[in-house]
């Protein structure tokens, strides 16, 4: 892949996380910068000491930063301001440097909701969310915001309970899933993620007459998505959310409309 000519006025964006070597963010953001001929470059940094890293963003005047595991919660302590919804979710995955002020956003929730709303209206839909980790928190807030009838099921039941009590919705253990008849099933557990690609969070017979959204995007077509398709369910693969959240970051950092099709093509080619 070629790249823009880097000059003394090139703006730097980055992703910080740990581990980081498998991140696809540099690939898609650089492809998008290049496509729109923007004088930006994107790098990945494996960060152990988060406070120092955020000082570095200020000191070196990075334009935008994507924040990933395990830093999405702690990073909130080091920013100048945080958008209301990210504050309520309790996690920031995007930093925008606005003339020296570091602003925190969450594009995971909006990326996921955009992927869902491309297929279905969420209001009053019986929705089962499997998982209660970081991504689940962001998506659960979005679902409530859109008026979905939400139930959160998680292996560690206490975590489902804590999240559900913040959102005033139902909760339980993963094994309860078969006692529901949802319109929408969303997997936010890491079950099925590479390299354990044969794991399935629910029995395949359960996947009938529902929309199945799996946020796991490696592999592109998870075991869950395959089984759901075989049973005639509508499906949304995780790559849709991944691209949407990246596109929203890109738009915050550049003020330009993200080349969504190109970003998707780059990820799909990489993971195929």
Catalytic residues: 72
Comparing CB distances to ligand NAP, the nearer of 207 and 241 is 241
Total residues belonging to the chain: 272
How many angstroms separate the CA atoms of 18 and 87, rounded? 22
Q: Residue 232, exposed/middle/buried by CB under 10 A (0-12, 13-18, 19+)?
A: exposed
**Interface with ligand NAP, residue 17, by CB under 6 A:** no
Q: Which stretch binds ligand NAP (CB under 6 A): 175-183, 205-213, 226-234, 240-248?
A: 240-248
What is the smallest separation between the CB atom of 229 and ligand NAP, expressed in angstroms? 18
By beta-carbon proximity to ligand NAP, the closer residue of 17 and 64 is 17
Could you say which residues in the range 121-180 bind ligand NAP, by CB under 6 A?
131-136, 154-156, 159, 174
Q: Minimal CB distance to ligand NAP: which residue? A: 133
Phi, psi of 97 (to 5 degrees): -95, 105
Binding-site member from 207, 215, 228, 263 for ligand NAP (CB under 6 A): 215
Site for ligand NAP (CB under 6 A): which residue of 47, 113, 207, 241? 241
- The distance of closest approach from Cβ of residue 49 to ligand NAP in the complex, given in angstroms and rounded to an integer, is 21
Q: Is the peptide bond before 195 cis (omega within 30 degrees of 0)?
A: yes
Q: Report d(CA 103, CA 210) in Å as an integer.
A: 38
Q: Smallest gap, in angstroms, from Cβ of residue 270 to ligand NAP?
A: 14
20 touching ligand NAP, by CB under 6 A = no
Long-range pairs for 41-45: beta carbons < 8 A, 24 or more residues apart: 41/3, 41/4, 41/6, 41/10, 41/11, 41/12, 41/13, 42/12, 42/13, 42/14, 42/15, 43/12, 43/13, 43/14, 43/15, 44/14, 44/15, 44/17, 44/20, 45/14, 45/15, 45/16, 45/20
Residue closer to ligand NAP, measured from CB, 137 or 144: 137
Q: Is the Cβ–Cβ distance between 217 and 237 less than 8 Å?
A: yes
Residues binding ligand NAP: what is the number (CB under 6 A)? 25
Q: Closest CB to ligand NAP among 28 and 136?
A: 136
Q: Is the peptide bond before 113 cis (omega within 30 degrees of 0)?
A: no
What's phi and psi for 83, nearest 5 deg? -60, 150
**φ, ψ (nearest 5 deg) of residue 203:** -65, 145
Nearer CB in complex with ligand NAP: 62/191:
191
Smallest gap from Cβ 147 to ligand NAP, in A, equals 23
* 100 vs 195 by CB, closer to ligand NAP: 195
- 190 lies in the binding site for ligand NAP (CB under 6 A): yes
Binders of ligand NAP among residues 47 to 76 (CB under 6 A) are: 69
User: Could you give the CA distance from residue 87 to residue 64 in angstroms, rounded to a whole number?
Assistant: 19
Contact code string over 101-120 relative to ligand NAP, x by CB under 6 A? -------x------------
**Residue 127 phi/psi, 5° resolution?**
-125, 125
Positions touching ligand NAP (CB under 6 A) are 69, 108, 131-136, 154-156, 159, 174, 188-191, 193, 215-217, 238, 241-242, 245
């Amino acid at each position: 892949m070629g790249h823009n000519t880097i000059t003394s006025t090139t703006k730097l964006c980055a992703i910080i996380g740990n581990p980081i070597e498998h991140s696809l963010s540099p690939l898609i953001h650089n492809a998008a910068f290049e496509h729109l001929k923007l004088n930006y470059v994107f790098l990945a940094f494996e960060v152990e000491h988060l406070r120092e890293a955020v000082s570095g963003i200020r000191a070196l005047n990075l334009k935008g930063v994507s924040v990933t595991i395990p830093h999405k919660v702690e990073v909130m302590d080091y920013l100048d301001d945080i958008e209301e919804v990210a504050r309520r979710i309790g996690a920031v995955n995007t930093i925008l440097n606005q003339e020296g002020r570091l602003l925190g956003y969450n594009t995971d929730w909006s990326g996921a909701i955009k992927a869902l709303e491309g297929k279905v209206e969420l209001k009053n839909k019986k929705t089962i969310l499997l998982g209660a980790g970081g991504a689940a928190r962001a998506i659960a807030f979005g679902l409530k915001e859109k008026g979905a009838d939400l139930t959160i099921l998680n292996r560690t039941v206490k975590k489902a309970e804590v999240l559900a009590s913040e959102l005033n919705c139902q909760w339980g253990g993963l094994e309860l899933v078969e006692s529901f008849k949802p319109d929408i099933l969303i997997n936010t557990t890491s079950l099925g993620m590479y390299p354990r690609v044969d794991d399935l969070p629910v029995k395949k017979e359960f996947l009938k007459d529902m929309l199945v959204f799996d946020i796991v995007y490696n592999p592109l077509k998870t075991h869950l998505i395959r089984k759901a398709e075989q049973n005639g369910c509508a499906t949304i693969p995780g790559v849709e959310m991944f691209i949407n959240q990246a596109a929203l970051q890109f738009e915050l950092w550049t003020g330009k409309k993200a080349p969504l099709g190109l970003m998707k093509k780059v990820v799909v080619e990489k993971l195929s």
